[in-house]
Chains A and B, each alone.
Chain A
Amino acid sequence: MTMLRFLLSACLLLFFTLSAKAADTLTVGAIYVGSTNDFGYNRSMHDGLLAMKAAIPGLTLLEAENVPETADSERIMEGMIQQGAKLIFATSFGHQDFAFNLAQKHPDVFFEHAGGWKMAANFGNFFGATQSAWYPMGVAAGKMTKSNTLGFVAGVPIGFVIGNIDAFAMGARSVNPKVQVRVVVTGSWSDKAKEAAATTALIDQGADVVTMHVDSPATVIQTAEGKGVYSIGFQSIEARTLAPKYWITGLGFTWGPFMTDIAKSVIAGSFKPAFVRLGLGQGMMAIAPFGPAVPADVQTAVNAAADKVAGGFNPFTGPLTDNTGVVKLKEGETLGGDKMGDLDWYVEGVIGKAK
């Protein structure tokens, strides 16, 4: 019995020394909805956190992958807090409510959630402004296509996705007015077999550049590469390694600088919750390196378009009509930010119905 008590107190002592040690620097917890080597969204989040870790010496990073968007996520984040985490990144949309509950319960722990809207004294929200960033991707596709047909594989047709498609089409038509964008909606963020079939169907319809908005760009890029068709990536710029020959460029999230700033503010005790949406040139979105097949003049045009967007250009500026000819934005009207979530029409040049 005494032996047991001794062991117990020894354990407790050890635990306290360890936690005291951990308190010297910051411990950051991060949860991902999928696997961090998906070449997609989760990979981009993981890369951002690694950049943060590299930038702040002594920082401890706790990570959990495949965390479902259920109450399980709350338990996992709670566990990270027990291990000393003072800053938590909840990286999937559906983690919002669970992270928010914990933020109320632990006022001394800071939370950052990706893509939501909730805010509190210790709870901030961040995401990339993707729509305008798709414009230069369109420029790249419009310049590279020979058939004037572009293919877009979309997961679920929510407003933000439709906005990406529209900006892509507008970018393409700004350099090549004959371009048409064909869209196939799979109805799921991740259904590899359907993504492969959709890509094939688009290529059969003459698309010679394909791109996508699904969780992982891998299947679409690999299917296109196998058929000798150009692809443009989305989510993580690392997807280019999947298409050594026919990669044009891609749009990826670069969360590192933002995450580093947030971690530094927590260490300094100056954390301020904010609703952050940053795009190209603002540190949260970046254009991937170009593939070997992209000529210099195309690269120049894409970079120029990217600079234009970084300078504040919003492609969703009226007058703008939808693909049936109805005026949607009048002269001088613009669309952006949260309103993108309500977008339900395709611009001229996109074939198909958005709703």
Chain B
Amino acid sequence: MEDQEILEKFRHESSKNYAFNLLIHKYQQKVYHHIRKIVIDHDDADDLTQETFVKVWQNLDKFKEESKLFTWIYRIATNECLNFLRKKRQKFFLPIADVSKDLLRKLETSSYISGDEIAIRLQKVLLTLPEKQRLVFNMKYFDDLKYEEISEILGTSVGALKASYHHAVKKIEQAMNSKI
């Protein structure tokens, strides 16, 4: 179902829940995987996915359709993730590097991690990147979003995103091709 149709149904009290169910079904996998790539751990991703949709529910009537619905949802999800990581740092007085170490540990010990060696190695390399660079790389490489869409989500210029992605690719290829 098209977003427009979902939004139309959401505006009517009688079809509000139905419309929101459709919205969740349509976007849950994209949102979950976007979040999972940032926080690594399934349980954290599950909680943040739910929280993202709760926020979408609470604010969808204020959505002005000046952007695509999915970029708006991605923006909320991204914000939830960054706040989650920020609070983690504040709570445990951790520098960014230690949060990355924590995420790395989760990559090695959490449930629901496949045995694909190259894919795991790539994730480990990604965890060595600055947080925002990893975010930009994930959205471009795995989610195949256009720079314009990422720009809408992060409120960042396309030029900055291109530069950030370019730097990330160089670093990743170098790390992946170096001997362990």
Q: Do A and B bind each other?
A: no
Hey, which bits of chain A sit against chain B, CB under 8 A? none
